[in-house]
């Protein structure tokens, strides 16, 4: 077995099972790029401060580059006795370049090293997530524009409430996703501080230049406090929180798509390539993609709980518990990126069934509120108007007819204020067009909302 960098004070070798139990290289090798970037910047800083010679630095930087190439070519063997990505790379470097490799860890600890690696990695993931989230938002804007005037029933309590436009409905989801974008921007800003220099926990006695290393690595600043820098993972919790909220939105949205593609609603058609069939029932076309997104939300919520619980009992500063931060974090980013990608592609190919949506909106007395508002315009108090319309609805239910299907004489039995112009307000198109203010469902407002969202995007 490779000899361990910390073997000096030990009298017996690590128990064979413990070796595997404590190792993280099986999963943290994924951080190799960030680990090499961090080491390269650290070596440059040490050389600039005169702590390493220029030759040593050049040899370290070139050696690290060769290791990256070997890893990428699949030509690097990871050693479990060397525990983690950090010691594997450092040992390979020393095997390659000799003496200078042993000087790389000057003024550094794996504690500030790993905290730096994760932050660098997460920063890159957030940037990729923002691109994927933007694509989904674009798909929704396109759909909202195309279906700005398409009418469907709006629901409260999953009961028909009032007609709304499909574009307006899509813009509701867009508003939620826009706030999600903001949450990731905030998270990235707070995490972009550099732990290096904190060393194990107390800082280091070498004359380091943390600002320089931070600049090389694209961090906004070094972390203020060395104990905090190596021990907190609140940035990871914040990321998984933002991911959980986003997945909660995607899950709700997925739930609607599943309902809407059922025979009972039949409002939309998902592209065949985003659905699967049944091995027994030949007629089936199942909305697997939205169902899986709804299902995967559970695992992200689980990761959030895992990370919160991981931190809650840890005294300062670094504890090995923190090694458990990686798998939940990796899986959160992977799951989120996959979910966003497939959601965006699925939405771009969504087909609406406007006639089915309209038919559903004509059931359930979706324009009853419009009739009450009509009576208010005729001088009746809203509470009285509400009562009048309630009685008219009860009559229509008994008749198995919609309000718009009653004759003027029938309607006038409930209020003499009703005139022949009433049928205009009972129409679905009149109802949505009347909600003509910022945030309202009128088609013109949907188009204005799309334009405003695009303008915000272009100046952000
Ligand atoms: N593999 C460790 C982790 O993921 C790296 C830091 C180890 N530090 C230590 N003192 N054992 O957290």
Answer yes or no: do 130 and 259 share one domain. yes
In a domain, 341, yes or no: yes
* Alpha-helical segments (H) within 313-414: 326-348, 354-361, 368-377, 382-399, 408-412
Answer yes or no: do 337 and 369 share one domain. no
**Among 365, 407, 359, which Cα is nearest to 389's?**
365
Q: Which of 111, 229, 231 to mutate to test the pocket of ligand 1 (most atoms within 8 A of CB)?
A: 111
Cα 357 from Cα 304, distance rounded (Å) = 38
pLDDT at 48: 98
Asked whether the predicted pLDDT for residue 2 surpasses 80, the reply is no
Answer yes or no: do 192 and 225 share one domain. yes
> Distance from the CA of 92 to the center of ligand 1, in angstroms?
18
pLDDT at 215: 98
Single residue among 50, 76, 106 that ends a domain in this structure: 106
Burial of 70 (0-12, 13-18, 19+ CB in 10 A): middle
Active-site residue, 157 included: yes
> Distance from the CA of 219 to the center of ligand 1, in angstroms?
22
CA distances from 459 to 128, 183, 188 (A): 19, 18, 19
The structural domain count of the chain equals 3
Reported as a single tens digit per residue, the pLDDT across 373-416 is: 999 999 999 999 999 999 999 999 999 998 989 999 999 999 99
> Distance from the CA of 230 to the center of ligand 1, in angstroms?
10
Task: Show the tokens assigned to 132.
Answer: 């994927």
Reported as a single tens digit per residue, the pLDDT across 268-309 is: 999 999 888 888 888 888 999 999 999 999 999 999 999 999
Answer yes or no: do 180 and 265 share one domain. yes
Q: Rg for the chain (alpha carbons), in Å?
A: 31
How would you classify the pairing of strands 221-222 and 268-269? Answer: unpaired
pLDDT at 460: 65
Q: What is the CATH number of the domain that holds 79?
A: 1.10.275.10
In 3-state terms, what secondary structure has residue 394? helix
Place of tokens 């198109």: 429
Per-residue pLDDT, averaged over 437-450, amounts to: 98
**Cβ-Cβ contacts under 8 Å for 170 (sequence gap 6 or more):** 140, 141, 143, 144, 147
CB atoms within 10 A of CB 311: 17
Active-site residue, 278 included: yes
**Cβ-Cβ contacts under 8 Å for 204 (sequence gap 6 or more):** 107, 108, 197
In 3-state terms, what secondary structure has residue 178? helix
In a domain, 208, yes or no: yes
Q: Which of 84, 118, 121 to mutate to test the pocket of ligand 1 (most atoms within 8 A of CB)?
A: 84
Answer yes or no: do 87 and 143 share one domain. no
Q: Which of 323, 325, 328, 329 to mutate to test the pocket of ligand 1 (most atoms within 8 A of CB)?
A: 323
ipTM, interface predicted TM-score of the complex:
0.96
pLDDT band at 3 (very low <50, low <70, confident <90, very high): confident
Residue that wins the pLDDT comparison between 101 and 458: 101
Answer yes or no: do 331 and 212 share one domain. yes
List 3, 207, 273, 278, catalytic entry = 278
> Distance from the CA of 85 to the center of ligand 1, in angstroms?
10
Answer yes or no: do 318 and 374 share one domain. no
pLDDT at 252: 98
pLDDT at 282: 84
- Residue pair 263/273 in contact (Cβ under 8 Å)? The answer is no
Pick the range with the lowest mean pLDDT from 28-42, 84-98, 160-174, 277-291: 277-291
pTM over 0.90: yes
In a domain, 2, yes or no: no
Reported as a single tens digit per residue, the pLDDT across 105-159 is: 999 999 999 999 999 999 999 999 999 999 999 999 999 999 999 999 999 999 9
Single residue among 311, 327, 356 that ends a domain in this structure: 356
Answer yes or no: do 285 and 196 share one domain. yes
Task: Show the tokens assigned to 102.
Answer: 């042993």
Cα 136 from Cα 416, distance rounded (Å) = 51
In a domain, 219, yes or no: yes
Cα 359 from Cα 34, distance rounded (Å) = 56
In a domain, 1, yes or no: no
Single residue among 59, 84, 106 that ends a domain in this structure: 106
CB neighbour burial string for 166-196, b if at least 16 within 10 angstroms, e if fewer:
bbbbbbbbbeebbebbebbeebbeebbbbbb
pLDDT band at 1 (very low <50, low <70, confident <90, very high): very low
Per-residue pLDDT, averaged over 174-190, amounts to: 98
In a domain, 173, yes or no: yes
DSSP string, 28-95: HGGGHHHHHHHHHHHHHHHHHTTSS-HHHHHHHHHHHHHHHHHHHTT-----STT-SHHHHHHHHHHH
Reported as a single tens digit per residue, the pLDDT across 46-77 is: 999 999 999 999 999 999 999 999 999 999 99
- Residue pair 242/180 in contact (Cβ under 8 Å)? The answer is yes
pLDDT at 279: 85
Pick the range with the lowest mean pLDDT from 2-16, 155-169, 337-351: 2-16
Answer yes or no: do 69 and 119 share one domain. no
Domain range for 347: 111-356
Q: What is the CATH number of the domain that holds 418?
A: 1.10.40.30
Answer yes or no: do 319 and 398 share one domain. no
CB atoms within 10 A of CB 259: 16
Answer yes or no: do 328 and 372 share one domain. no
pLDDT band at 459 (very low <50, low <70, confident <90, very high): confident
- Residue pair 341/132 in contact (Cβ under 8 Å)? The answer is yes
């Amino acid at each position: 077995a490779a000899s361990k960098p910390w073997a000096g004070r030990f009298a017996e070798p690590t128990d064979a099972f413990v070796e595997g139990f404590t190792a993280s290289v099986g999963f943290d090798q994924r951080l190799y790029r960030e680990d090499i970037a961090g080491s390269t910047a650290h070596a440059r800083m040490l050389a600039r401060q005169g702590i390493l010679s220029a030759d040593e630095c050049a040899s370290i930087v070139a050696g690290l580059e060769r290791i990256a190439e070997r890893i990428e070519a699949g030509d690097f063997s990871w050693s479990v006795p060397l525990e983690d990505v950090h010691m594997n790379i450092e040992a390979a470097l020393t095997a390659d370049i000799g003496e200078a490799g042993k000087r790389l860890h000057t003024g550094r600890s794996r504690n500030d090293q790993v905290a730096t690696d994760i932050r660098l990695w997460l920063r890159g993931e957030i940037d990729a997530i923002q691109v994927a989230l933007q694509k989904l938002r674009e798909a929704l804007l396109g759909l909202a524009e195309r279906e700005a005037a398409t009418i469907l029933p709006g629901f409260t309590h999953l009961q028909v409430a009032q007609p709304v436009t499909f574009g307006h409905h899509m813009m509701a989801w867009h508003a939620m996703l826009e706030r999600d974008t903001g949450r990731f921007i905030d998270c990235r800003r707070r995490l972009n501080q550099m732990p290096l220099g904190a060393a194990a926990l107390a800082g280091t006695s070498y004359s380091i230049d943390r600002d320089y290393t931070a600049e090389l690595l694209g961090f906004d600043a070094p972390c203020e406090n060395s104990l905090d820098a190596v021990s907190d993972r609140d940035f990871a919790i914040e990321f998984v929180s933002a991911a959980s909220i986003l997945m909660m939105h995607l899950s709700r949205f997925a739930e609607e798509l599943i309902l809407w593609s059922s025979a009972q609603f039949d409002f939309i058609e998902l592209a065949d390539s985003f659905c699967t069939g049944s091995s027994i029932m030949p007629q089936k076309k199942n909305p697997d993609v939205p169902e899986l997104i709804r299902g995967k939300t559970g695992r992200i919520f689980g990761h959030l709980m895992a990370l919160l619980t991981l931190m809650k009992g840890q005294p300062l500063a670094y504890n090995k518990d923190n090694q458990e931060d990686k798998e939940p974090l990796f899986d959160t980013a992977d799951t989120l990126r996959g979910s966003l990608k497939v959601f965006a592609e699925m939405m771009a190919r969504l087909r609406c069934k406007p006639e089915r949506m309209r038919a559903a909106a004509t059931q359930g007395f979706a324009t009853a509120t419009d009739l009450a508002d009509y009576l208010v315009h005729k001088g009746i108090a809203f509470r009285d108007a509400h009562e009048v319309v309630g009685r008219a609805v009860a009559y229509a239910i008994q008749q198995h007819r919609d309000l718009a299907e009653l004759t003027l004489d029938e309607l006038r039995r409930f209020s003499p204020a009703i005139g022949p112009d009433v049928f205009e307000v009972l129409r679905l198109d009149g109802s949505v067009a009347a909600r003509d203010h910022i945030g309202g469902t009128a088609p013109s407002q949907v188009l204005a909302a799309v334009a405003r969202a695009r303008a915000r995007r272009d100046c952000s």
